[in-house]
Amino acid sequence: TQLLEQSPQFLSIQEGENLTVYCNSSSVFSSLQWYRQEPGEGPVLLVTVVTGGEVKKLKRLTFQFGDARKDSSLHITAAQPGDTGLYLCAGASGANNLFFGTGTRLTVIP
Amino acid sequence: GAVVSQHPSWVICKSGTSVKIECRSLDFQATTMFWYRQFPKQSLMLMATSNEGSKATYEQGVEKDKFLINHASLTLSTLTVTSAHPEDSSFYICSAPRAGGRTEAFFGQGTRLTVV
Protein backbone atom coordinates (compact mmCIF):
# COMPACT_ATOMS: atom_id res chain seq x y z
CA THR A 1 0.00 0.00 0.00
CA GLN A 2 1.34 3.40 -0.94
CA LEU A 3 0.55 5.90 1.79
CA LEU A 4 -0.31 9.52 1.16
CA GLU A 5 -0.30 11.65 4.27
CA GLN A 6 -2.24 14.89 4.20
CA SER A 7 -1.81 17.76 6.60
CA PRO A 8 -3.51 19.30 8.31
CA GLN A 9 -6.21 16.74 8.96
CA PHE A 10 -8.70 19.42 10.01
CA LEU A 11 -8.68 23.12 9.24
CA SER A 12 -11.16 25.78 10.29
CA ILE A 13 -10.58 29.30 9.04
CA GLN A 14 -12.39 32.58 8.55
CA GLU A 15 -13.69 33.66 5.18
CA GLY A 16 -11.03 35.58 3.29
CA GLU A 17 -8.05 33.80 4.78
CA ASN A 18 -5.50 31.83 2.80
CA LEU A 19 -4.58 28.22 3.46
CA THR A 20 -2.32 25.44 2.21
CA VAL A 21 -2.94 21.71 2.33
CA TYR A 22 -0.06 19.30 1.93
CA CYS A 23 0.03 15.79 0.51
CA ASN A 24 3.20 13.80 1.15
CA SER A 25 4.39 10.33 0.29
CA SER A 26 7.58 8.35 0.09
CA SER A 27 6.41 6.86 -3.20
CA VAL A 28 6.71 8.30 -6.69
CA PHE A 29 3.48 8.69 -8.65
CA SER A 30 2.91 9.04 -12.36
CA SER A 31 0.33 11.71 -11.60
CA LEU A 32 -1.41 13.20 -8.63
CA GLN A 33 -5.03 14.25 -8.46
CA TRP A 34 -6.96 16.44 -6.09
CA TYR A 35 -10.61 15.83 -5.32
CA ARG A 36 -13.19 17.60 -3.20
CA GLN A 37 -15.96 15.72 -1.49
CA GLU A 38 -19.17 17.14 -0.07
CA PRO A 39 -20.96 15.28 2.74
CA GLY A 40 -23.01 12.37 1.46
CA GLU A 41 -21.58 12.57 -2.05
CA GLY A 42 -18.76 11.07 -4.05
CA PRO A 43 -15.49 12.94 -4.66
CA VAL A 44 -15.27 15.32 -7.60
CA LEU A 45 -12.04 15.81 -9.50
CA LEU A 46 -10.46 19.26 -9.20
CA VAL A 47 -7.18 18.87 -11.04
CA THR A 48 -4.48 16.46 -12.17
CA VAL A 49 -0.78 17.26 -12.08
CA VAL A 50 1.59 15.11 -14.04
CA THR A 51 5.00 16.72 -14.40
CA GLY A 52 7.39 17.21 -11.50
CA GLY A 53 7.34 20.88 -10.47
CA GLU A 54 4.10 21.52 -12.33
CA VAL A 55 1.83 24.27 -11.08
CA LYS A 56 -1.83 24.53 -12.04
CA LYS A 57 -4.30 27.22 -11.12
CA LEU A 58 -8.04 26.86 -10.87
CA LYS A 59 -9.46 30.27 -9.99
CA ARG A 60 -8.43 30.78 -6.34
CA LEU A 61 -6.89 27.31 -6.06
CA THR A 62 -3.23 26.67 -6.87
CA PHE A 63 -1.92 23.14 -7.12
CA GLN A 64 1.73 22.16 -7.20
CA PHE A 65 3.40 18.82 -7.85
CA GLY A 66 6.74 18.26 -6.18
CA ASP A 67 9.85 18.00 -8.31
CA ALA A 68 10.30 14.35 -7.33
CA ARG A 69 6.59 13.60 -7.89
CA LYS A 70 6.18 12.39 -4.33
CA ASP A 71 4.28 15.30 -2.86
CA SER A 72 1.82 18.01 -3.72
CA SER A 73 0.22 21.08 -2.24
CA LEU A 74 -3.07 22.88 -2.61
CA HIS A 75 -3.20 26.57 -1.81
CA ILE A 76 -6.50 28.42 -1.56
CA THR A 77 -6.53 32.19 -1.66
CA ALA A 78 -9.29 34.19 0.01
CA ALA A 79 -11.24 31.16 1.12
CA GLN A 80 -15.02 31.25 0.84
CA PRO A 81 -17.70 29.23 2.63
CA GLY A 82 -18.30 27.37 -0.62
CA ASP A 83 -14.78 25.93 -0.34
CA THR A 84 -15.86 23.92 2.69
CA GLY A 85 -15.44 20.20 2.16
CA LEU A 86 -13.13 17.21 2.37
CA TYR A 87 -10.08 17.60 0.15
CA LEU A 88 -8.43 14.40 -0.99
CA CYS A 89 -5.22 13.92 -2.88
CA ALA A 90 -4.81 10.73 -4.85
CA GLY A 91 -1.68 9.31 -6.40
CA ALA A 92 -1.82 7.28 -9.57
CA SER A 93 0.49 4.32 -9.94
CA GLY A 94 0.16 1.72 -12.64
CA ALA A 95 -2.92 1.03 -14.62
CA ASN A 96 -5.99 2.59 -13.04
CA ASN A 97 -4.68 2.37 -9.47
CA LEU A 98 -5.47 5.37 -7.31
CA PHE A 99 -4.20 5.69 -3.75
CA PHE A 100 -6.05 8.24 -1.69
CA GLY A 101 -4.57 10.52 0.91
CA THR A 102 -5.79 10.70 4.48
CA GLY A 103 -7.92 13.73 3.70
CA THR A 104 -8.18 17.32 4.93
CA ARG A 105 -11.50 18.55 6.20
CA LEU A 106 -11.80 22.28 5.58
CA THR A 107 -14.40 24.51 7.17
CA VAL A 108 -14.62 28.13 6.09
CA ILE A 109 -16.55 30.25 8.54
CA PRO A 110 -18.53 33.17 7.08
CA GLY B 1 -24.43 15.50 -15.05
CA ALA B 2 -23.41 12.32 -13.28
CA VAL B 3 -21.50 9.85 -15.38
CA VAL B 4 -21.40 7.15 -12.73
CA SER B 5 -24.67 6.36 -11.05
CA GLN B 6 -24.81 4.49 -7.75
CA HIS B 7 -27.96 3.06 -6.27
CA PRO B 8 -29.36 3.15 -3.68
CA SER B 9 -28.06 6.35 -2.10
CA TRP B 10 -28.96 5.05 1.33
CA VAL B 11 -30.23 1.81 2.79
CA ILE B 12 -31.13 0.51 6.21
CA CYS B 13 -31.16 -3.23 6.75
CA LYS B 14 -31.42 -5.70 9.57
CA SER B 15 -28.46 -7.70 10.83
CA GLY B 16 -28.03 -10.94 8.95
CA THR B 17 -29.58 -9.75 5.72
CA SER B 18 -27.81 -9.00 2.46
CA VAL B 19 -27.71 -5.71 0.61
CA LYS B 20 -26.87 -5.11 -3.03
CA ILE B 21 -25.40 -1.84 -4.27
CA GLU B 22 -25.28 -1.05 -7.97
CA CYS B 23 -22.77 1.07 -9.81
CA ARG B 24 -23.49 2.01 -13.41
CA SER B 25 -21.36 3.88 -15.89
CA LEU B 26 -23.50 6.17 -18.03
CA ASP B 27 -22.62 6.77 -21.66
CA PHE B 28 -19.30 4.97 -21.42
CA GLN B 29 -18.00 1.49 -20.86
CA ALA B 30 -15.95 0.55 -17.86
CA THR B 31 -14.06 -2.71 -17.89
CA THR B 32 -12.77 -1.82 -14.46
CA MET B 33 -14.58 -0.29 -11.51
CA PHE B 34 -13.44 0.30 -7.99
CA TRP B 35 -15.26 -0.06 -4.70
CA TYR B 36 -14.32 2.06 -1.69
CA ARG B 37 -15.44 2.24 1.88
CA GLN B 38 -15.37 5.46 3.84
CA PHE B 39 -15.83 5.83 7.57
CA PRO B 40 -17.05 9.13 9.02
CA LYS B 41 -14.55 11.93 8.62
CA GLN B 42 -12.00 9.61 7.05
CA SER B 43 -10.60 9.07 3.60
CA LEU B 44 -11.52 6.45 1.05
CA MET B 45 -10.21 2.93 1.53
CA LEU B 46 -10.06 0.77 -1.56
CA MET B 47 -11.89 -2.49 -1.01
CA ALA B 48 -11.67 -4.18 -4.35
CA THR B 49 -11.23 -3.79 -8.07
CA SER B 50 -14.10 -5.06 -10.15
CA ASN B 51 -13.15 -6.54 -13.51
CA GLU B 52 -15.68 -7.15 -16.25
CA GLY B 53 -15.80 -10.83 -17.16
CA SER B 54 -13.42 -11.99 -14.46
CA LYS B 55 -13.06 -12.20 -10.71
CA ALA B 56 -12.68 -9.11 -8.63
CA THR B 57 -9.37 -8.31 -6.97
CA TYR B 58 -9.71 -7.70 -3.27
CA GLU B 59 -7.45 -5.62 -1.09
CA GLN B 60 -5.75 -7.20 1.87
CA GLY B 61 -8.08 -7.64 4.79
CA VAL B 62 -11.30 -7.46 2.75
CA GLU B 63 -13.37 -10.63 2.96
CA LYS B 64 -14.33 -11.65 -0.55
CA ASP B 65 -17.08 -13.96 0.70
CA LYS B 66 -18.66 -11.14 2.62
CA PHE B 67 -18.36 -8.45 -0.02
CA LEU B 68 -19.41 -10.11 -3.24
CA ILE B 69 -18.59 -8.21 -6.40
CA ASN B 70 -20.06 -8.95 -9.80
CA HIS B 71 -19.16 -7.06 -12.94
CA ALA B 72 -21.74 -8.55 -15.26
CA SER B 73 -21.51 -6.04 -18.08
CA LEU B 74 -19.36 -3.19 -19.31
CA THR B 75 -21.62 -0.69 -17.57
CA LEU B 76 -22.62 -2.38 -14.34
CA SER B 77 -20.81 -3.57 -11.23
CA THR B 78 -22.56 -4.67 -8.08
CA LEU B 79 -21.38 -5.00 -4.50
CA THR B 80 -23.37 -7.30 -2.23
CA VAL B 81 -22.78 -7.09 1.48
CA THR B 82 -23.76 -10.51 2.75
CA SER B 83 -24.95 -11.31 6.27
CA ALA B 84 -24.58 -7.68 7.21
CA HIS B 85 -23.58 -6.68 10.72
CA PRO B 86 -23.67 -3.27 12.40
CA GLU B 87 -19.92 -2.90 11.91
CA ASP B 88 -20.53 -3.02 8.15
CA SER B 89 -22.37 0.27 8.43
CA SER B 90 -20.44 2.75 6.33
CA PHE B 91 -20.43 4.91 3.22
CA TYR B 92 -19.64 2.82 0.14
CA ILE B 93 -18.49 4.53 -3.06
CA CYS B 94 -17.78 3.15 -6.50
CA SER B 95 -15.71 4.70 -9.25
CA ALA B 96 -14.84 4.09 -12.86
CA PRO B 97 -11.70 5.32 -14.62
CA ARG B 98 -12.14 7.91 -17.30
CA ALA B 99 -11.71 6.75 -20.86
CA GLY B 100 -8.56 6.96 -22.92
CA GLY B 101 -6.24 5.31 -20.43
CA ARG B 102 -6.52 8.20 -18.00
CA THR B 103 -6.19 7.49 -14.30
CA GLU B 104 -8.72 10.07 -13.14
CA ALA B 105 -11.97 8.60 -11.97
CA PHE B 106 -15.63 9.39 -12.01
CA PHE B 107 -17.23 8.60 -8.69
CA GLY B 108 -20.72 7.49 -7.86
CA GLN B 109 -22.80 9.42 -5.39
CA GLY B 110 -22.12 6.87 -2.67
CA THR B 111 -24.38 4.60 -0.63
CA ARG B 112 -24.92 5.09 3.06
CA LEU B 113 -25.48 1.65 4.59
CA THR B 114 -26.84 1.36 8.08
CA VAL B 115 -27.20 -2.08 9.62
CA VAL B 116 -29.48 -2.26 12.64
Average pLDDT estimate for B44-64: 92
% of residues, chain A, pLDDT over 70:
95
Give pLDDT tens digits for A35-61.
999 988 999 999 999 999 999 999 999
B108/A contact by beta carbon, under 8 A: yes
Q: Is residue B55 pLDDT above 60, yes or no? A: yes
**Angstroms from B78 CA to nearest CA on chain A:** 17
A48/B contact by beta carbon, under 8 A: yes
**Nearest-5° angle of CA A59, CA A27, CA B109?**
50
Contact B95 A48 (CB under 8 A): no
Q: Which residue has the higher pLDDT, A99 or A18?
A: A18
Between B41, B43, B107, which is nearest A101 by CB?
Answer: B43
Give pLDDT tens digits for B7-45.
999 999 999 999 999 999 998 888 899 999 998 888 899
Total length of chain A: 110
Q: How many C-beta atoms lie closer than 10 Å to residue A41's C-beta?
A: 17
DSSP line for A73-88? EEEESS--GGG-EEEE
